[in-house]
Structure 1
């Protein structure tokens, strides 16, 4: 894709109704693409031009098209050629599935096929398959979703359209104090109040887990290093599973009494270890640091 020349990447997602276009669109949005669903073909070039003139605000545009658009196949084919001639080099993704799978999917949601008319569901699927044959033959990538789960389809789209950074799991390590309540958005919560509290040591009380004195004290306590080692190993397993399932955001909450000493020091250390892992982008948030 010639993004350097045009300043913008363009993708066109099309294919058979029921083959997974909506899932593809949501996945592309999660990957940072600006997605427009069912835009009239004659407006596609105008939208791409506007995106290219947005001075970096829009760098990746995906257009999702189906047979509801007027003069769908003829107009879309000509628009793709026009975009190619202008240097945008659109990448065309075509989604399909077998007739029996498409029929089961339509029956599951109790909806008719857009080309069914007064006929049978199978008639609509056949008519659409014939109509889209020229586009399928010109597509850069054809995906048969018959045997794919939603997560498997997302993984294939991420491999094709996702940048390396977009495919990484974004991990937030959040320290907090139990006295101020549990964080509502945490995926995993770990209680580190099993370690001695620096608050009860006068010379450490006014410091925080960001200070070396407190950090060294907390990490030197019996069980601290073992906790970090085992929790880190567990998170490797969980993170890999989340990526397979298409989960790209993970919030790890670590709590102590006030959210000032133990949870802060351990959150910083855990985040440092996770940052060395492939496939993870890590940041640290100390929710209750600074509270009285």
Structure 2
């Protein structure tokens, strides 16, 4: 990962909670990406608030101790760096300014790649618009308490730099959801890891177990006694525990682990509950959700004669 340029962002430069941060910089330097990361980390974020509303917003400050980041750049209605600095100085709040910068040729390349118009480029060449904006924002850049040159960063690298700088202070961990579902009612749309548990013996074919669910002890015993369950679940557990730190290192805010069976009431439910226990023992705090638990079991009469009991559900 490239080193940060400009006045480096260090943990000493971040004020204590509650925090109030102005995020500004050159158009195309990554302000929107920076704000998105802060939002994922639990900050309240507001982008391009009109300057006439800035004074009241700064006076109100963060609510309930939740840090607040306000995005301001040349697109902001009423943009006037001198007026902005006056409002900041008169607010009496402990306000930090993060300024995102980038080399002119890099910004020009980014605009050429995205084919988006520069906010100052309606009646001038892109290079002239970039120079004009740099002159315009110079007072804010001089007052910045943190400067980040993104010239050598792709989007992923900029996201990682922001997470590294503000993630610990925000105290937000990756939210893990473990869900069960039934393939008969469709795949979960947001699952990151999906495990198909239909290889296990199906309690649906036992008239006593059919009306029960994977939350009931008898169903759990039936599934756990399947010779295929323990070795496969151990491998699934090892895979998930190995992958979690890597997902977290990529800055994932949410991760969904899904277990599926035919109807989503027996094998998937039991497996999801067991995985929730494993994750809690490993120090995580997962949410366990059962998508199809309350739905009636699929009608077995619709199955063809080629489906064998014990392997068809």
Task: Give the alignment partner of residue 79 of structure 1, picking from 68, 87, 94.
Answer: 87
On the 8 A contact 2:82/2:139 being kept in 1, the answer is no
Structure 1 residue matching 2:286: 3-state secondary structure:
strand
* Distance in structure 2 (CA, Å) of the matches to 1:164 and 1:192: 40
Counterpart contact for 2:163–2:251, Cα < 8 Å: no
Cα distance in structure 2, aligned partners of 1:253 and 1:243 = 18
| Alignment match, 2:145 | 140
In structure 2, the CA distance between the partners of 1:165 and 1:28, relative to structure 1 (3 Å rule), is: closer
Matched, 1:273 2:278: yes
Q: Residue 214 of structure 2: SS of its match in structure 1?
A: coil
Q: Distance in 2 between matches of 1:183 and 1:283?
A: 15
* 188-197 vs 132-141, which moves further: 132-141
Q: Provide the residue aligned with 2:69 in structure 1.
A: 62
**SS of match in other structure, 1:132:** helix
With 99-108 and 169-178 compared, the bigger mean Cα shift is at 169-178
Q: Distance in 2 between matches of 1:269 and 1:29?
A: 32
Q: Tell me what 1:20 maps to.
A: 30
- Name the residue aligned to 2:286: 282
- Equivalence map 1:143-292=2 (5 Å): 143-162=148-167, 167-201=172-206, 204-277=209-282, 281-292=285-296
Distance in 2, Cα, partners of 1:214 & 1:91: 57
Alpha-carbon deviation of 1:212? 3.0
The answer to whether the 8 Å contact 1:14/1:65 transfers is yes
Whether 1:49 aligns to 2:59 is yes
Residues 17, 66 of structure 1: 8 Å contact kept: yes
In structure 2, relative to structure 1, the CA distance for the partners of 1:219 and 1:114 (3 Å cut) is: same
Cα deviation, residue 283, structure 1:
0.8
Are the structure 2 counterparts of residues 222 and 101 from structure 1 closer, same or farther at C-alpha, using a change threshold of 3 Å? same
Aligned residues: 281
CA contact under 8 A between 1:20 and 1:95: conserved in structure 2? yes
Mean Cα displacement is larger for which, 17-26 or 175-184? 175-184
Tell me how far apart the structure 1 counterparts of residues 116 and 100 of structure 2 sit (CA, whole Å). Answer: 19
Following the alignment from structure 2 to structure 1, what is the Cα–Cα distance between the partners of residues 106 and 281? 43
Residues in 1 aligned to 2:125 and 2:295: alpha-carbon distance in whole angstroms: 66
1:268 CA drift (Å): 0.8
TM-score norm. by structure 1 comes to 0.82
| CA RMSD after TM alignment | 2.8
Kept after mapping to 2: 8 A contact 1:48/1:61: no
- Equivalents in 2 of 1:112, 1:202: separation in Å? 66
CA distance, structure 2, for counterparts of residue 33 and residue 276 of structure 1: 29
Say if 1:169 and 1:281, in contact at 8 Å, map to a contact too: no
Q: Distance in 2 between matches of 1:119 and 1:176?
A: 56
- TM-score normalised per structure 2: 0.77
List gaps (5 residues or longer) in structure 1. Answer: none
Which moved further from structure 2: 8-17 or 236-245? 236-245
The partner residue of 1:39 within 36, 46, 49 is 49
Q: Is the 8 A contact 1:209 1:263 kept in 2?
A: yes
The separation in 1 between residues aligned to 2:88 and 2:218, in whole angstroms, is: 63
Gaps of at least 5 residues in structure 2 are: 1-14, 297-313
Measure, in 2, the Cα distance between the counterparts of 1:73 and 1:229: 59
Following superposition, the deviation at residue 240 of structure 1 comes to 4.1
